[in-house]
Amino acid sequence: MDTVFVGLSGGVDSAVSAYLLKKQGYKVVGAFIKGWEPDFLPCTGVRDRLEAMRVAAHLGIPFVTYDLSEEYKRGVVDYFVSEYKLGRTPNPDVMCNRVIKFGAFWEKAKADGADMIATGHYAMKKELPTSNFQLLVSKDKEKDQTYFLWTLTKDDLAHSLFPVGGLEKTAVRSLALEANLPNASRADSQGLCFLGHVDMHAFLKRYLPTEIGVVRDENGKSIGNHDGIWFYTLGQRHGFGSLGGERLYVVAKDRMKNELTVSTSSLGENAEKIFALTNESSVDGSPLVGKYLGRYRYRQTLLSVEIHDGQASFDTPQRIASGQSLVVYDQQGEIMHGGAIIE
């Protein structure tokens, strides 16, 4: 039977994944990935690793730790800081999956004898008669994480397993209790991959300078100041010192003038229907062309979108920040085909 290295995060989903794979007869190894943990953040790595070790001991499986902190700092943190500095809005979790969980982790595990890796992601893999693979939306639609997996290819899927993808979250919890897993009642983790809850504004201030600039309304009137356009993303809500605490949304960023434009509408007056794409990727390796359902935010309602010649066209105007991930699905919203980054 194949040897599967399961990425044990300390959470319930990965623990149940290891439990299910062992029940299915795989030779399972628990692997904890040590990410980058700056001393100015209340990271939970030590506690997470302890929980992962307890799960491995309870299941009677070998346990290894992979220190991927340098890879994480270089491939994820440095990437999204540089993107923010350029005025874009990257998704660090997408990059974390690509560079760490399905990149460096797989390479480490393969070198140690793994035939496959498994994670606790809510997604499903389907093997086709052509020896190709599809990535399907998980059974639990509220927990589905295919949005963060759009950079995966059929080659990645060939050696990847998602044991809890075909289960509802409630069933995963029940299995954890049934198996007496030591972390069965642990709360779900939130926030950035490996970093947890992070005040992004405060985090970026560690790396990017304060540059005071003007905030204007859509008529060009100055209504306040900001401390650096890279600390704000399109669609972000902020008061900016407006009288009466009026809800204002960032609708434009001018890097040359170091100015923000805000509106009482999250779309503003200049929302667009057509967006240029870069870094396109598809699961099967074919170009993304045609009509899809898509989203550019996690858990966003799927929208009709058509892709041709490196451009995405929406039926209605959208306000999408440069750097965001557009992820596309089939017309039923069940098969994740791939994605791209908004230029």
Q: Which residue's entry shows tokens 């965001």?
A: 324
Answer for the pair 149, 133: CB distance below 8 angstroms, yes or no. no
Which has the closest alpha carbon to 227: 252, 249, 260, 251? 260
Q: What are the residues facing 276 on neighbouring strands? A: 311
Answer for the pair 106, 133: CB distance below 8 angstroms, yes or no. no
Among residues 116, 193, 229, 312, which one is catalytic?
193
Burial of 222 (0-12, 13-18, 19+ CB in 10 A): exposed
Among residues 96, 152, 320, 328, which one is catalytic?
96
Active site (annotated) includes residue 43? no
Residue 162 parent element (H or E) = none
Answer for the pair 329, 293: CB distance below 8 angstroms, yes or no. yes
- Residue 341, CA distances (Å) to 130, 236, 255, 291, 321 in order: 29, 19, 20, 17, 10
Active site (annotated) includes residue 96? yes
Q: What is the Cα–Cα distance from 139 to 295, expressed in whole angstroms?
A: 18
Beta strands 222-226 and 213-216 are: antiparallel
Q: Which two tokens stand for residue 243?
A: 């009288």
Answer for the pair 41, 35: CB distance below 8 angstroms, yes or no. no
Catalytic positions are 96, 193
